[in-house]
Chain A
Amino acid sequence: MVENRPWLTVFSHLVLILGIGVVVLPLWVTLVSSTHAGEDLLRSPIPMWFGNQMFENYSQMLSSGMKHVSGQPLTGMMLNSLIMALSIAIGKIAISLIAAFAICYFRFPFRMTCFWLIFITLMLPVEVRILPTYEVIANVFTPLTKLLALLGYEGTDVVIAGFSIDLDVSMLDSYAGLTLPLIASATATFLFRQFFLTVPDELTEAARIDGAGPMKFFRDILLPLSRTNIAALFVILFIFGWNQYLWPLLVTTDPSYATVVMGIQRMVNVADIEPQWNLVMAASMLAMLPPVAIVIGMQRLFVKGLVETEK
């Protein structure tokens, strides 16, 4: 739309500047606060320009962490968050691609049932099914023992051919427990299915005539065509995974599995003393870096994936 009215231009710029201000101001305060000593931030007004404690604050967070809060360096938590976010993003994309491929390109019994089952899980994000999911993660065999209990068999041991099998495997305090329940969801499957449906049938048929079997077709044609969608989804899922709070809080008690979001929360919720805001802000800045890096690094593909339909 091309409009040539000066006051409209001024107005739209004002709106934009206001919008940017709303987004940028908190970031600015965070950044500036992270460069001051703790006392500076307790006085009002809060500083709006850089202090001289930047190096001290950041190096303390990265090397030793906050003394009275677990005393863990942030690096370990960042690594945990990174592992969690990457596992969720990669795991979800991998599983969704394969599931969507199966649903769109193969005819097998109960295909539509499978699709609808997957689709229904869209309505059940982790927050909704958090209790049963916790129970399953606490003991992977919960569904089985419950089933056995229904059939009148009590207890968590099963004896098969003389071997006693203990039906009690816990995934609490493990990376698997952190990530698996978040990987299992339908959004990505649904998105890939919608994308696959837009791939012309003729392309599939041309590949068949060219002698490409199903897996070859998947690898040589479908994956490259989904490239931009995968990138866009990766960015979204990485940030989704990185920002997880409730679930990690629930399934991890061992501090060595703490994620950075949990860590920051603990730094703020200290008893008896004032939170060290300068350090909290430094931690926040650090916690923001990986998602920002991912967005910037994949920006071109990401935007393409959102707007372009390359066919």
Chain B
Amino acid sequence: MANLQISGVEKVYPNGFKAIHGIDLKVEDGEFIVLVGPSGCGKSTLLRMIAGLETVTGGTIQIGDRVVNDLEPADRDIAMVFQNYALYPHMSVYQNMSYGLRNRGFPKAAIEERVQKAASILQLDGLLDRRPRQLSGGQRQRVAMGRAIVREPAAFLFDEPLSNLDAKLRVQMRVEIKQLQRRLGTTSVYVTHDQIEAMTMADRLVVMNAGVAEQIGTPIDLYEKPSSVFVGGFIGSPAMNFMPGQVEADGRHLTLADGSRLVLPADGRTVEPGRSVTIGVRPEHLMPSSDTDSALKFEIVLVEHLGADTLLYGLASAVQGAGEGGLLTVRMSGHHVMPAGTVIPLVADPSHLHLFDVATGRRI
């Protein structure tokens, strides 16, 4: 067990491409950190630098109290679970799990004990003699996990380990991995592009964008206080709505593009009057209003019934878009039958309005 400290880490690939622009991150002992972001933002690169599979071109990576920048992967006391499992196809499950220990010269009896223990934790008892190709996807995933846990490393590294599984199995394995990590208490860094996976598994998330850590925090932090337009749009499903607005002279209201008005949160934050901002509102924080004058006009295009919730997709001229306005999403709890074409006035919950700078996209 150990903590993991990443300080000012940068990565420039040999072809000159800068994939990581200086990231600082401190992972506490036993913490489950998820790196999340769109494809190509550098998640794998960062993880592979921690693993030692890519060279570190700037900054330091520290596992426990050792700087590991120049150590071979095998000497870093980490274990990695790959997206395609990377099981050795010609070895049995037992050999797959014990290979790392054998290379380290563990005595046979100790290997046997560790593998058996891992196998029983992962319900692989009856499968130890099988070859990987004789296993289902979920079982292969478990073997890959088993190979990681028999090593009893200081940290687990996961690179999108669930993306090859079908949706149902993914949810099940997600719970299993999280439980296992709790039980073992091993520091973990987990990479995914799936924000739901990230939100459900993480103790803390790192939202990455184009090689930069946009925000680091707990899932609730990120959800309630996204530090930028990017984080707000990336975290949460359906995604946050964005629209342009301007702070009114009284500093307490916002005017939208279609002339409608929203009340600013009265939480003591002051925004200079007249300033143009980007307003972010989550779909669940928009609700129908009786005040038809100043409310936002929303024309329903499509209604989705999820059972517990109803999602309304529609056009609003307050949102920038082509023609008669941009797309807006509203989430209402319970059943609501509304035909397409209905126009309803909307207001936003003032305590859940997010304001971002128009130019930088940072939270105000």
Contact = CB atoms under 8 A, between A and B. Distances in A.
B99 A209 contact: no
Given A202-B82, A202-B83, A211 B103 contact: yes
B51 A209 contact: yes
B119 to A, nearest CB: 17
A210 B53 contact: no
Contacts of B89: 225, 310-311
B86 A212 contact: no
B345 to A, nearest CB: 54
Interface string B340-360: 000000000000000000000
Contacts of A310: 89-90, 133
Interface string A193-211: 0000000101101111111
Contact size range, A: 10 to 19
A208 B82 contact: no
B155 to A, nearest CB: 12
Interface in A156-205: 200, 202-203, 205
A209 B83 CA distance: 15
A205 B74 CA distance: 10
Contacts, number: 61
B78 A209 contact: yes
A209 B88 contact: no
Contacts of A140: none
Contacts of A212: 74, 99, 103
Given A211-B74, A220-B99, A206 B80 contact: yes
Contact of B86 (A200, A225, A227): A200
A220 B91 CA distance: 10
A225 B131 CA distance: 13
Interface of A: 200, 202-203, 205-212, 216, 220-221, 224-225, 227, 310-311
Given A203-B86, A209-B51, A211-B104, 10 more contacts: A202-B86, A206-B80, A206-B86, A206-B87, A208-B72, A209-B78, A210-B74, A210-B99, A225-B90, A310-B133
13 contacts: A200-B84, A202-B82, A202-B83, A202-B84, A203-B88, A205-B53, A205-B80, A205-B82, A207-B88, A209-B51, A210-B99, A227-B90, A310-B90
Interface of B: 51-53, 72-74, 78-80, 82-84, 86-90, 99-100, 103-104, 133, 147
